[in-house]
Chains A and B, each alone.
Chain A
Amino acid sequence: MAILEEPIKETLELRNYINGEWVKSEGSIEEVINPATGKVLGEVPISTKNEINAAVEAAKAAFLDWRRTPPLARVRCLFRLKELMEENFEELSRIQTMEHGKTIDESRGETRRGIENVEVAAGIPSLMMGYNLEDIAAGIDEYLIRQPLGVFGIIGPFNFPFMVPLWFIPYALATGNCTVVKPSSEDPISQIKIAELAEEAGIPPGVYNVVNGGRTVVSGMLDHPDIAGICFVGSTPVGRDVIYRRCGETGKRVIAQCGAKNFLLVMPDADLEGTIATCMTSFFGNTGQRCLSGANLVIVGEGLNEREYNAFYKKVVEAFVDAASRIRVGYGLDEKVQMGPLRDRSKKERVIGFIETGIKEGATLRLDGREVKLVGDWPHTCFLGPTVFEDVTPDMTIAKEEIFGPVASILRAKSLDEAIEVIHNSPFGNAASIFTTNGKWAREFQYRVACGNIGINVGIVAPMAFFPFSGMKNSFFGTLHGQGQEVIRFFTESKVVIQRWF
C-alpha cells in the first residue's frame, strides 16, 4: 500500500491575512517541518506588535458593517465556506497529517469536526434569537436581544491545527463579530488554507484575519483595548497564569481550555473487546497529544474478592498491553499506520523524560515506546511508540502530571468509591470515562465525578459541535465554553429593552 499523495510539494511562504490582503510579514521566519519525514513544508512569520495591531484595527473597522449585515446574509457566507471545505476535504486532511503528524483517519476526522462547527453556526438565525413578554405591566412590553461585541482573538493550539479554532470562529462571525486568529506557529498551514477558503466564500475584508506568530502576537491581543475577548486552547500554566489572568485585568471575556489528566475506569462487567479498542484510540490516538486522551487506566475491583480481582486485573492488563504492542507507527499518509509521530523532537524528549521518571519511581514498564519499530523508512526524530506502565500509584509523577504523549499508566482501585476519590485528587477536571454494563455504576459515576466531559463506554469524550466542550478545575478557565449554545452566549451580550407607547 503506497503513501497517499502529498498535497504540499514545495516550501510554502506563509503570509498573514489582514483586511482581505495577503501581507508579507516584517517579522522573523521559522520553518514548519513535517515531523514524520523531516522535510520543510513552509516558512511561517513570527509577526510583530504592529502587525497584530493592524489586524485588530482592520477587524474593528469591518465590525461596523458586518454587525449590520443580516444574520441570514452572514450565514450564507458560512454555507459557502462549508461547501468549499467539503470540496477540499481530502487536501485539507492530508495537510494536517503533513504538518501535525496524525494519521489520515485522524485528520479526516478533524476536518469533519471542524466543518460541523461551521454547520451548527449556520443556524444562527434561530440560535441567536432572544425572547420577549408582552404586558409585563399593562401596555408595557419587555424583550431581550443578543448583540455582538466587536473583535475577538482566537489562539489555536498545535494538536488540532484545523479544528480547534473552528470551535469559535464560525460562531463569532455568524453572531456579527470579527476575528483575529493566531494559529500555532508549529503547524499554521491549515489555518492559512481556511483563510483562503474564507476569502473565496466572500467573507468581507477585515471580518476574518490571520496573524501568524508567537508570544508577541498573543501579548498584543491580550493588551489591545479593542479586543473584547479571547479564546485559547493550550496548556494550563499559559491558560491560567497568562491568558485568564490578563483577561481579568483588562476586562476581556475569556475561554481558556487547558490541560488534562484523564482517568478511564474499567469495571468488572465491562465489554472487554470494545473497551480495549476504545482505549487504544483514547490513549494513543493523536499520539496521546490531546486534552481528551486517556492517561490513567484504573482497573476497578468493585464486588470482587482478592483472587477474582487479581484475575480480572491480569486479563485487562494483558489485553491492553497486547493491543498496544501491535500498533503500527509511521507516517500518517500511509494507510497502514495507526499512530503518527509526536509533533516535534522536543516533545518526544519531554515524553522520554516522563518514561525515565516512571521507571525511577518504581512503576513497571510493560511496553517501552522508546524501542519503536516504524512502518516505512523514516527518520526516528519525532517517533515514539506506545508505552505502558503498570503498578502505578496515584502519587507517582506519571500518574499526576500531564504527559501529552503515548504513555498509559495502569492503576488499581478496589472500589468505584476509591477510583472516584483518585480522580478527585487530580487538579484537572477535563474528562473521565467508565467502562461498564451496569447502569447504576454508570449513573453514580456521571453524577459524582467532577470532570466536564464524562464518557460511559466512550474513550474520547469529544462533544459534538452542538454541545459545549466542557471542562472543570485546572482544565478550564472562564465561565462559558466553546461550541454549542454556550459559545453563542460568549460572543453576544444580552440587551434588555422595555418599551411603552404613549
Chain B
Amino acid sequence: MEELNVTASAVISFAEKLEDTSSELYEELAERFAAHKETFLAFAKESRKNKVLVTRTYQETITDALEACFSFAGLNLNDYAVQKVSAEGMNCPDALQMAVELEEKASRFYSDVARRSHSLLATIPGAFRRVAEVRNKRKLELQSLLKQGH
C-alpha cells in the first residue's frame, strides 16, 4: 500500500528498524565469514551508532513549530523497505552482494529524506545526510571486497 505524506515520526521509526535490521545482518555475517569479521562487526556497531544519531537528533530538535507532519509529501516508504535479511545458506560473494544492495537502498533512503526535509526540519536533515554518507561508504567498501574475489 502506498504511503504518501509520511510524518517525521514514521520516517524516524523506519530508520530505527533499518539500522536494527542492518546491525543484526552484519552480526550474522561476522559469525559466518571469519575473513571479514572485523569489518562486519564494525558495520554492526556503526549501525547502532547511526540509530542513536538519528533518533537523538530528532528528539533533541523536534518542535511543534517545525514541519514535522508535512516535510515528506509524496514519500513512499515501501520504496526503501528491507525485509528481515539473512545470509543463511549463502556463500560469501552472495552475502556481500546482498549487503551491497542493502547499503544502496539505505543510502538512497537517507539521501531522499534529507533532500525532502532540507530547510524544513532544522538539524534533522543533517543527521540523515551523515548517515547517507556512512552507508554509501560502506557500499563502496563492500564492492571493493567483492572485486577482490572474496
B88 at the interface (CB under 8 A from A): no
Contact with B along A114-144 (1 / 0, CB 8 A): 0000000000000000000000000000000
Contact in complex: B66, A335 (CB < 8 Å): no
B61 touches A112 (CB 8 A): yes
Tell me, rounded to whole Å, the shortest Cβ–Cβ distance linking A116 to chain B: 8
Cross-chain contact A108 with B67 (CB below 8 angstroms): no
A441 CA / B62 CA spacing, docked (Å): 30
* CA–CA, A52 and B148, complex, Å: 77
Q: State the interface size on chain B (CB cutoff 8 A).
A: 26
> Which residue among A108, A290, A323, A339 has the maximum number of chain B CB atoms within 10 Å of its CB?
A108
A438-463 near B? 1/0 per residue, CB < 8 Å? 00000000000000000000111110
Query: Which of A149-157, A274-282, A363-371, A408-416 binds B?
Result: A274-282
Indicate if the CB atoms of A109 and B67 lie closer than 8 Å. Answer: no
- Inter-chain contact B67/A104, CB cutoff 8 Å: no
Residues of B within 8 A of A459 (CB): 67
Q: Scan residues 270-296 of chain A and give those whose CB is less than 8 A from a CB of chain B.
A: 274, 277-278, 280-281, 285-286, 290, 292
A281's partner among B4, B61, B69 (CB-CB below 8 A) is B69
Query: A281 to B59, Cβ gap below 8 A?
Result: no
Asked whether A462 and B64 contact (CB < 8 A) given A106-B69, A112-B59, A280-B70, the answer is yes
Question: What residues of chain B lie closer than 8 Å to A160, measured between beta carbons?
Answer: 64
B66–A109 contact, CB under 8 A?
yes
Residues of B within 8 Å of A108, CB to CB, are 9, 58-59, 62
A245 within 8 A of B: no
Q: Cβ of A278 and Cβ of B62 under 8 Å apart?
A: no
Chain B residues in 8 Å Cβ range of A112: 59-63
Inside 8 A of B58's CB, which chain A residues have their CB?
108
Interface flag for A105 (CB, 8 Å): yes
**B5 interface contact, C-beta 8 A:** yes
For B59, the closest partner residue in chain A by CB is A89
Residue A326 contacts which of B4, B62, B64 (CB distance < 8 angstroms)? B4
B83 to chain A: closest CB distance in Å? 16
Q: Are B62 and A109 within 8 A (Cβ)?
A: yes
Shortest Cβ gap from B9 to chain A (Å): 5
Interface status of A1 (Cβ within 8 A of chain B): yes
Task: Out of B61, B63, B64, B70, name the residue touching A338 (CB < 8 Å).
Answer: B70
* Chain A residues engaging chain B, CB cutoff 8 angstroms: 1, 89, 102-106, 108-110, 112-113, 160, 163, 274, 277-278, 280-281, 285-286, 290, 292, 323, 326-328, 335-339, 458-462
Q: Which 3 A-B pairs have the closest CB atoms?
A: A109-B64, A105-B68, A460-B65
Additional A-B contact list (20), CB under 8 Å, known A103-B9, A105-B7: A89-B59, A102-B64, A105-B9, A109-B63, A109-B66, A109-B68, A113-B63, A160-B64, A274-B120, A278-B120, A281-B67, A281-B68, A285-B69, A286-B64, A336-B7, A337-B7, A338-B5, A338-B7, A338-B70, A462-B65
